[in-house]
Amino acid sequence: MHTVKHENVIYKFEPEMEPVLEVESGAIVHFESNDCFFQQLKSNEDVINEIDFDRVNPATGPVSVKGAEPGDLLKVEILAIDLADEGVSVCMPGHGALPDEVRESTVRVIPVKDGYADYLGLKLPLAPMIGVIGVAPSDEEGSFPTATPWRHGGNMDTRDIRKGRTIYFPVAQAGALFALGDCHALMGDGEVSVSGLEIPADVLVRLSVLKGISAPWPILETESETMVIASGKDLEEAVRHANSAVVGVLSRALQVQWEEAYILASLAVDTRISQVVDPTMTVRAAVSKEIISTEVFLENLKK
Amino acid sequence: MHTVKHENVIYKFEPEMEPVLEVESGAIVHFESNDCFFQQLKSNEDVINEIDFDRVNPATGPVSVKGAEPGDLLKVEILAIDLADEGVSVCMPGHGALPDEVRESTVRVIPVKDGYADYLGLKLPLAPMIGVIGVAPSDEEGSFPTATPWRHGGNMDTRDIRKGRTIYFPVAQAGALFALGDCHALMGDGEVSVSGLEIPADVLVRLSVLKGISAPWPILETESETMVIASGKDLEEAVRHANSAVVGVLSRALQVQWEEAYILASLAVDTRISQVVDPTMTVRAAVSKEIISTEVFLENLKK
């Protein structure tokens, strides 16, 4: 088993990055994941504006996977997300979905134990997820701060990126150059205050190359659904990107008119908010496996 | 039992409307609900642009409820939604979430039987819901076409408005003046093509007045959650409206700082897309009853 230590981090997903590890397709890799503040906030009295903002949103990696080439998919099976025993959540004036209503920058350190987060006397069930996860972007797309989600992945802050799920990324550079970070112990759809329950974690994934399948956006497989996770400058653009991809797949896979597939999406595809607070906003459009299997979905991603 | 016949329809929710029926608080009323095209589309060969658009989005009613006054809530328990055996779904160039990709106006008549809709050879599970439901707006808000969702309700196109659920509306006029229509046999979150599976239905509701509780937006109670259903000129505004209401309630009900409630919403409130295709867009922000009961939620709606 390979381990990537928590000091090996990037703050941008870039077309050219120096891998810290190279593995065979099918390898299992252990990533030591930092919280999104690189553990700089440790108590409710800490002041957000005094932390080093150059160390926010670290992603552990990147890892090069042998044989991955542009036009392939990188298949990432999430085998484990083991959380630390304490996380932190914050809000700041000018940030989040209600930027004008926040008066005070606030830090809350929150213990995590026995399957629950203890906050305000409430027991909130844990639902560990990976916030930042992705690969090197294409030369045309260029560099993205880790905070910004886009076609290569990044800070998608999507609750469904959990243990037992599989996520597929479009490979744009040789080796794919995969990295992850920013785990949350739990998070509501929207992430309205600007943070989930930010927490260090040990993440185990299996990295495999699927040759000759390209994708416009990351694709997530759950027990019951296939999802396109798309981002945009606003939610409306993200909704368009996600549904354009889904309707194209449905039309090709079911061999029906594009308009018939569009109507099918209107009846049976759920478009869900992931987050509304990052530099680009993210949604996922989810299709039941009763309508189309993930395998057939992936085969029909190509235009 | 009272019945409001399907010919008794409105096309605007207005501050002043003539009720077609007056009932006591607690009465059960049967509404004959038309599909959103008033049954003008009957076959796949029908042409959308040839229908009478003045008859689109009818709502059956309005019904006056004795004792309802501005500052009260109208409690609407949804007891039954019995569908016709056939519905229709459409798309049109320039409409929906992908307005520039639609080439042909398309009508699909879809049979509904034994719990499923038959479409493209697929069996899609039914999930009957009410698309348009609401009360008379305030004098300050003025009139709204039934197609436009806002604080009074209207065309919220929210999948959770189903049998067994209860929805609460802010009363703005004496008698509340309640109406409903536009049922869907099923619909995906987003309603991306611009229609659900539009279908006539017989809807049974109990209408009751809750004195002295005001609300900024319609509130929906499900088996496990309380939701604020809010609309906006875009999704971002709808997200702000819904979360501003929820965070205020949580702060007052739990007696915590507003910022602490904002962080709680970020961790545990899900903001979900209802529809992205009406003149205003709609989301709902959902809070688990494990965090706060619907009763306590309603008590803390007032500022």
Tens digits of per-residue pLDDT, A2-12? 999 999 999 99
Q: What b/e string do you get for A24-58 counting C-beta neighbours within 10 Å, with b at 16 or more?
A: ebebebbbbbbbbbbbbbeeeebebeeeeeeebbb
B121 by Cβ neighbours in 10 Å (0-12 / 13-18 / 19+) ranks as: exposed
Of the candidates A190, A270, A278, the one whose C-alpha atom is nearest the C-alpha of residue A227 is A270
- Looking at residue A35, the DSSP 8-state letter turns out to be P
**Average model confidence (pLDDT) for chain A?**
97
* Residue linked to tokens 């205003």: B280
Antiparallel, parallel or unpaired: β B144-145 and B12-13: antiparallel
Question: Are the CB atoms for B34 and B181 separated by under 8 Å?
Answer: yes
**Token reading at A9:** 């981090």
Mutate to test the interface with A, among B244, B267, B277 (most CBs of A within 10 A): B267
Mutate to test the interface with B, among A192, A233, A283 (most CBs of B within 10 A): A192
Question: Are the CB atoms for A196 and A81 separated by under 8 Å?
Answer: no
Q: How far is B127 from chain A (nearest CA, A)?
A: 10
What is the rounded CA–CA span in Å between residue B156 and residue B95?
Answer: 17
* CA distances, A107 to each of A91, A96, A219, B249 (Å): 7, 14, 33, 21
pLDDT single digits (tens) B207-262: 999 999 999 999 999 999 999 999 999 999 999 999 999 999 999 999 999 999 99
What is the rounded CA–CA span in Å between residue A274 and residue A295?
Answer: 24
HSE-CB at A169 with a 13 A cutoff on CA atoms is 32
- Answer whether the bond into residue A93 is a cis peptide, omega within 30°: no
Q: How far is A146 from chain B (nearest CA, A)?
A: 20
Q: Map residue A17 onto helix, strand or coil.
A: coil
* CA distances, A263 to each of A51, A255, A260, B189 (Å): 49, 14, 5, 13
Query: Using CA of residue A35, residue A36, residue A37, residue A42, what is the dihedral sign?
Result: negative
Please tell me the predicted confidence (pLDDT) of residue A302: 77
Query: Using CA of residue B13, residue B14, residue B18, residue B22, what is the dihedral sign?
Result: positive
Q: Give A-chain residues touching B198 at CB under 8 angstroms.
A: none
Q: How far is B253 from chain A (nearest CA, A)?
A: 12
Q: Map residue B228 onto helix, strand or coil.
A: strand
Look at B244 and A98 and tell me if their CB atoms are within 8 Å.
yes
Please tell me the predicted confidence (pLDDT) of residue A63: 98
Among the partner-chain residues A108, A260, A264, the one whose CB lies closest to the CB of B260 is: A108
| Gyration radius (Cα) of chain A, Å | 19
Q: Map residue B201 onto helix, strand or coil.
A: strand
Q: How far is B123 from chain A (nearest CA, A)?
A: 9
Of the candidates A115, A144, A298, the one whose C-alpha atom is nearest the C-alpha of residue A220 is A298
Please tell me the predicted confidence (pLDDT) of residue A257: 98
Question: Are the CB atoms for B23 and B178 separated by under 8 Å?
Answer: no
What is the rounded CA–CA span in Å between residue B124 and residue A267?
Answer: 9
Give the amino acid at B204.
L
pLDDT single digits (tens) A100-154: 999 999 999 999 999 999 999 999 999 999 999 999 999 999 999 999 999 999 9
Please tell me the predicted confidence (pLDDT) of residue B303: 57
- Answer whether the bond into residue B15 is a cis peptide, omega within 30°: no
Of the candidates B283, B132, B279, the one whose C-alpha atom is nearest the C-alpha of residue A188 is B283
* CA distances, B289 to each of A22, B77, B231, B266, B295 (Å): 48, 18, 23, 16, 10
B285 by Cβ neighbours in 10 Å (0-12 / 13-18 / 19+) ranks as: buried
**Token reading at A99:** 């930027």
pLDDT single digits (tens) A200-215: 999 999 999 999 999 9
**Token reading at B190:** 């987003």
Q: How far is A269 from chain B (nearest CA, A)?
A: 5
B61 contacts: CB under 8 Å, gap ≥ 6: B4, B8, B9, B10, B19, B20, B21, B31, B177, B178, B179, B180
DSSP string, A172-193: -STT--EEEEEEES---TB-TT
Q: Give B-chain residues touching A121 at CB under 8 angstroms.
A: 254
Look at B190 and A239 and tell me if their CB atoms are within 8 Å.
yes
Please tell me the predicted confidence (pLDDT) of residue A145: 98
Antiparallel, parallel or unpaired: β B219-221 and B166-170: antiparallel
Mean pLDDT of A266-279: 97
Of the candidates B213, B257, B291, the one whose C-alpha atom is nearest the C-alpha of residue A101 is B257
Look at B235 and A234 and tell me if their CB atoms are within 8 Å.
yes
Give the amino acid at A210.
L
pLDDT < 70: residue spans in chain B? 303
Give A303's pLDDT tier (boundaries 50, 70, 90).
low
What is the rounded CA–CA span in Å between residue B170 and residue B218?
Answer: 7
Mutate to test the interface with A, among B126, B259, B278, B293 (most CBs of A within 10 A): B259
Look at B190 and A235 and tell me if their CB atoms are within 8 Å.
no
> By CA distance, what is A93's nearest residue in B?
B259
B268 contacts: CB under 8 Å, gap ≥ 6: A122, A124, A186, A188, B287, B288, B291
- ipTM associated with this complex: 0.97
Among the partner-chain residues B104, B256, B265, the one whose CB lies closest to the CB of A193 is: B265
pLDDT single digits (tens) A43-100: 999 999 999 999 999 999 999 999 999 999 999 999 999 999 999 999 999 999 999 9
How many helices (H) and strands (E) chain B has is answered by: 3, 21
Q: Give A-chain residues touching B285 at CB under 8 angstroms.
A: 190
CA A148 remoteness from chain centre: 10
Among the partner-chain residues B106, B187, B271, the one whose CB lies closest to the CB of A267 is: B187
HSE-CB at B298 with a 13 A cutoff on CA atoms is 22
